[in-house]
Structure 1
Amino acid sequence: MPDKDAQTPRVFLIRHGETEWSKSGQYTGKADIPLTPHGEDQIKASGRIVYGNGKLIDPAKVAKVWVSPRKRAITTYQLLAGTREGYEVTECLAEWDYGDYEGIKTHEIQAKRHDRGLDKDRKWDIWRDGCEGGESPTQVAARIDELISQIRDLQGPLMKTSGQPKDVVLVAHGHLTRAFAKRWLGYDLSFPLSLMMEPGGVGILSYQHSSIDEPALLLGIGFPMQQ
């Protein structure tokens, strides 16, 4: 029988704080835009509430931290955790490569494609159509799946144990975090699952029935009692 105190592993998805381009709605992929002062404050506020001993994200329960290579994500983790150490940078969490759409807004992308004779019957949808000069949904899904495989290899053997760190923290971006959640649940990126992730937001993924083969979105969670 599993230990009744064993906790099912969780994956905490964290979006970086506000940048000037996230604030304006400009697509920010490879551009290394820093956090705004307000973005830094967002992360510090989130950290005070959810990160620390006995809190929702308890460092003593975290087995691994992966972070996007963009400095806005790295700064986010460093502000959240109060350390410049203890994380691994991975391209698997880099934001969608927007290619020709870098730095512009949705309506501008749609107009640009319309002028080129595209999308005559339906509006552009990044989840279905991808980005010219950038990544397709298939390419984004492939690198996410690579990281999901690593996470399940890590968490699988720890599933029904107690007293060992088993949670994972991921720090990434707006589109990437939502894409990650879809792939975690086994959906194609084109699947019409509407998800939102605010700057500085925290999402949680886990497993049903303490089974590595039953990944789930943790829709609601009971918060730890304050000590």
Structure 2
Amino acid sequence: MARSKTSKAWMQEHVSDPYVRRARAEGYRSRAAYKLLELNRRDHLLRPGLTVVDLGSAPGGWSQVAAEQVGAAGRVLAVDRLEMAPIQGVAFILGDFRDQATLERLAGTLGERRADLVLSDMAPNISGVPEVDQARSLELVQAVVEFCQGYLKPGGTLLVKVFQGAGFEEFATGLRRRFLKVAVRKPGASRSRSPEVYLLASGFRGPARATEEGDSV
């Protein structure tokens, strides 16, 4: 079957993308690595010795950057439903982070420690219907925040990809109830036409009290 005009245009853009070419030259698994590298230069997210959890990690670009920055004294735990080829310094767990069995494996790997930093560059499967895609995106990032309740240490940091659109402001407002500071970031490696932005939430207030469990975040 012949490729559609849309798929041909995407492929042409992809192969000519400077970040794609740079990733191949420098050994990163995806152009997304440069988003994290830029954000780290600006906000100093990654330091030697940190414990980092990378949710939705495949193919591994963010995990590569995290492992380089935290060094041998740090730990990077990567989780994805898709297989990911091994990365030195990264412990990979195959599974959905929303499933109890996956969480139990992650908890066993963390031991008594909680994450200093949770990363999420995940996006839902795109349907092409903006309203549907936005709802799926918000559902996914809500699950990431719920994950933080059990696995991010008080004072820790979350970096999560969110699509701008309906519900975005409400989500950001809810996140501010959980963290001391929330900032919006749009790295240069993000395509300008993309509705994606990153919310950088620092100073985690700790697990929500029982009276807050019904709040949307």
**Normalization by structure 1: what TM-score?**
0.38
Considering Cα pairs closer than 8 Å and 6+ residues apart, tell me whether 1 or 2 has the greater RCO: 1
Q: Return the structure number with greater strand share.
A: 2
**Normalization by structure 2: what TM-score?**
0.39
- Which structure would you say has the larger Rg? 1
